[in-house]
Amino acid sequence: MLQGVLGKSLGILGYTLQYGCIAHCAFEYLGEIVVCSGPSMEPTIKNYDVVISESLSRHLFSIQKGDIVIAKSPNDPNTNICKRVIGLEGDKVCVSHPSDLLKKHSYVPKGHVWLEGDNLKNSTDSRFYGPVPYALIKGRICLKIWPLNDFGFLQDCPNGRARRDD
């Protein structure tokens, strides 16, 4: 009787480990469901919108200007950020605030990207913490699934800043 209980327990443990490994690989290499919080990506992504982030872009393809990505925060590795890619390595980007009269520019170093929120007035992004290493990118957001009235693929940057170099 004890062997039967032990056998069943080990069987359940084995299945749990298998499915845990499958889930880990799916989230790491395929994608995940993400709840976004904060105003930095408004109006494209609002507070508590639910999106699907796919990870294949960072592994097999390349991230492009205009893509919205989930990345580890350069300031806090326990926090994820959601921002738009404004510049790729070698690109010239504007590092000043949009309201500044004198514009300062910089080049994105090799192995980095320049990330900014769509809501420039309320976004902590590369203008504050500098270029973000490509390795911190976890995935590219491809679909908004909640709220249902906004279901679908994400739109381009509402203020046309995907090529911001002013």
Sequential pLDDT tens for the chain (166 residues): 666 777 677 778 777 888 777 777 666 666 788 888 888 888 888 888 888 888 776 666 678 899 999 999 998 889 999 999 999 999 999 888 777 788 888 899 999 999 999 888 888 899 889 999 998 998 899 888 888 787 777 766 665 555 444 4
Q: Which of 158, 79, 65 lies closest to 115 in space, CA to CA?
A: 65
The domains of the chain, with CATH numbers, are 31-163 (2.10.109.10)
- To the question of pTM greater than 0.85 for the whole model, the response is no
**Helix spans in the chain (H):** 2-25, 56-59, 126-129
In the annotation, is 40 catalytic? yes
Catalytic residue (one of 40, 55, 57, 123): 40
Catalytic residue (one of 53, 55, 57, 83): 83
Collect all residues with Cβ–Cβ distance below 8 Å to 53 and sequence separation of at least 6. 31, 32, 33, 34, 70, 138, 139, 140, 141, 142
